Structure 1
Amino acid sequence: MGVEGIGGLFIRSRDPEARAEWYRRHLGIAAGSDSVWEQQAGMTVFAPFPADSDYFAADQPFLLNLRVTGLDELVAALESDGIAVERRAEWDGEYGRFARLHDPEGLPIELWEAPAEEAGA
């Protein structure tokens, strides 16, 4: 008996259909009230941050971190669709590589590509 994983993420939205379509189109996530996203097994970090953390914007209650493969290709595709993506050399290191963007309603999203030796774990 116990928790096995995250069963869903429910976010308030001014335009739920448009937001779900954005996630489907740009990130390949089956999003929407009648969709189920079958994820690949992998690591999940569940970490409360201090209220004054500067890791993400203070006006946001959480940061959505998505595990990805082919980070460079995904970033290029997002940018070619006119989506601003931020990369910083100091974000990359022993935990992998990272990029940041925002969804259409301003939710911060972090794309995380795990180091090669952990990606298949």
Structure 2
Amino acid sequence: MAKITGLGGVFYVAEDPAATRAWYRDTLGIDGEYGPQLNWSEETGDQPYSLISHFKDDEYIKPGKGGFMINLRVDDLDGFVAQLKAKGVDVLGSVDEGYGKFAWLLDPNGVKIELWQQIAAPE
């Protein structure tokens, strides 16, 4: 059975994404190409990771509410989406970006949830 394997990232709107990323780098010592990245060395995939990413606006987070989105890692996106649909959950869409597969849904409060199956290691 497909399952959630961990937190894939937290995404929220920041007035100045570059300054926010610099603060995470300089203050907390975490950095990455798209935002502070936390690698998961104990996962079985090729260089699994989580990240905190910042957006200038909420376009990517829409139709979610609250200016943030929760990204959850999954080990089998297609299988997990099939499980959701069997439960009557409305899946907003899905895409294969090559480095990973994604699908989206809303929680009962309107918070956007992004499901992510990492396919490739970060470059």
Q: TM-score range by the shorter chain?
A: 0.5 to 0.7
Higher strand share: 2
Partner of 2:91: 85
Deviation (angstroms), 1:106: 1.2
Match of 2:53 in 1: 47
CA RMSD in angstroms, aligned pairs only: 2.6
What fraction of aligned residue pairs are identical, expressed as a percent?
Answer: 36
Q: Distance in 2 between matches of 1:113 and 1:59?
A: 23
1:56 aligns with 2:61: yes
Give the letter aligned to residue 70 of structure 1: D
**Unaligned stretches of 5+ residues in structure 1:** 1-5, 10-39
Q: Show the 5 A alignment for 1:32-43.
A: 41=43, 42-43=48-49
Q: Please, what TM-score do these two structures have when normalized by structure 2?
A: 0.54
Which is worse superposed, 77-86 or 91-100? Answer: 91-100
TM-score by length of 1: 0.55
Q: Report the CA distance between 1:97 and its aligned residue.
A: 0.5
Amino acid at match of 1:107: V
**1:71 aligned to 74, 77, 84, which one?**
77
Q: Give the distance between the partners of 1:59 and 1:65, measured in 2 at CA.
A: 14
| Partner Cα distance (2:74, 2:61) in 1 | 19
Gaps of at least 5 residues in structure 2 are 1-6, 11-41
SS at match of 1:79: helix
* Equivalent position SS for 1:94: coil
